[in-house]
Amino acid sequence: MAYQFVAVNEAGKKIRGRLNGTEAEVVRDIRGRGWTLVSIEPDTSNSSRSAGRLTEADLETVFSRLSYLAESGVKVDRAFALLSRGNLPEHLKSFLDDIGYRLNQGETLYQSLQQYRDQIDDIYLASIRLGEEIGSLGTTFGFIASSLQSRIRLRKDIQKATIYPAAIVVFSLLSLFFIFNFIVPRITGIFQGVEEIPWYTAMLMAASEFSIDYQFHLLGLVLGGAVLVGWGMNQPAYREAAYQAMFRIPGIRGFLQQSEQIRFCGAMSLALGSGLLMYDALNIASETVKNPVSRNSLRNAAREISEGKGAAEALSNAHFLTEFHASLLEVSQDRDALRAAFADIAARLEEELNGNVSRMLILMEPALIGIMGVVIGGIVLIMMLSILSIQNIGL
């Protein structure tokens, strides 16, 4: 049973949270922390994630702080208790309190995190399990935090790269809306009573009339489509289908492939750094690859390694990494060298992806400006020709 509570800590600060257990256990746990209980009630949501999902930024914050505390000699249960007292969002405090409670009940950290499998990658959970077994959780937390930082940085770079093109498209659409709703209708009044109207003028007037009559329908269609896409991206089956569809587009395929290579190499570096054997690391890291063809080829590479082949040869046969990147693994024999090689490949790929995105934007920005300029400029030209044609019609 889960309970939501309100308490006041020793500093007089009000704390809202969520803990699992019986009511007596929750009350005892709260008082054991030195807090004064204000209110407690059953959590009717019956979900440990009702306050919000954990984002990559949330996890990076948790694991980077856990790494520092673990390296300082603080036990993991005590570390979670210390973190939950910080100035953090409520859903993150609820997560920390929940894990802290489970640790105090005798569960391992790996067991405590199982209910969050849909929010924490399997590669991180496997690394935590191994880190607990060999007593290197501090190092494992550091590797996880570093991996999450790379993911966050990559996503932000891509988002930042799309801001300017999106701004150009939005501004152009607003310009078209203004022209069709306020400028063209004024010109339409000039042609009232005129029998022969130039074809380009008639076309412009029809476009303006269609925009005015159906603009709210179009707006509703766009907003509905956006809501549908947002809903679909939260559905695993829809998200997988959309990803596979984008993977078939030639211009986008290269960027998606590089993104998968970065995730895979980062996961391999993390797994090997946490102490996993090459076969186990490759099996787990392959799950970060969304393209089923590439994922199956990596699983075949793991099977070849289990049969005695070298890591470099097996990965080269998988044709997932480029020949240059695969060649960097040939000189790496032991696990530490392989970990460093995969980390280096991930860094090289990330730098290469940023360069490709920059080059794409260099071409995309003038192309978008040119296309929108032709569209809007063409409309303005048609309006000018339409006004000038009035004299010819009168003659």
pLDDT tens readout for residues 328-350: 787 766 778 888 888 888 888 88
- pLDDT digit string, tens, across residues 207-239: 888 888 888 888 899 899 888 887 876 676 777
Average pLDDT over residues 8-25: 73
Residues of the domain holding 24: 2-120
Q: Check pLDDT > 60 for residue 361.
A: yes
Which pLDDT band, with edges at 50, 70 and 90, does 51 fall under?
very low
Q: Examine the domain organization and report whether 170 and 308 are in the same domain.
A: yes
> What does the H/E/C string look like for 77-127?
HHHHHHHHCCCCCHHHHHHHHHHHHHHHCCCCHHHHCHHHCCCCCHHHHHH
Q: Does the residue 144 lie in any domain?
A: no
- So what's the pLDDT on residue 35? 80
In a domain, 133, yes or no: no
The domain that holds 26 is classified in CATH as: 1.20.81
Q: Is 16 inside any structural domain?
A: yes
Has residue 146 been placed in a domain? no
Residue 140 lies in a domain: no
What's residue 50's pLDDT?
Answer: 42
Q: Identify the domain boundary among 91, 120, 149.
A: 120
Which pLDDT tens digit goes with each residue over 254-279? 888 888 888 888 888 878 877 778 88
pLDDT at residue 375, as a whole number = 87
- Asked whether residue 212 is assigned to any structural domain, the reply reads yes
Of 120, 149, 181, which residue sits at a domain end? 120
* Statement to judge: residues 198 and 273 lie in one domain: yes
Domain membership of residue 152 (yes or no) is no
Question: Is 87 within 8 Å of 161 (Cβ atoms)?
Answer: no
pLDDT at 45 over 60: no
pLDDT at 118: 79
Dist CA 210 CA 364 (whole Å): 30
For residue 153, being part of any structural domain is answered with: no
Instruction: Verify that 200 and 73 share a domain, yes or no.
Output: no
Residue pLDDT, tens place only, 73-90: 888 888 988 888 778 887
Q: What is the largest CA-CA distance in the chain?
A: 97
Question: Count of domains in the chain?
Answer: 2
Question: Residue 150: is its pLDDT beyond 50?
Answer: yes
Predicted local confidence at residue 47, as pLDDT: 43
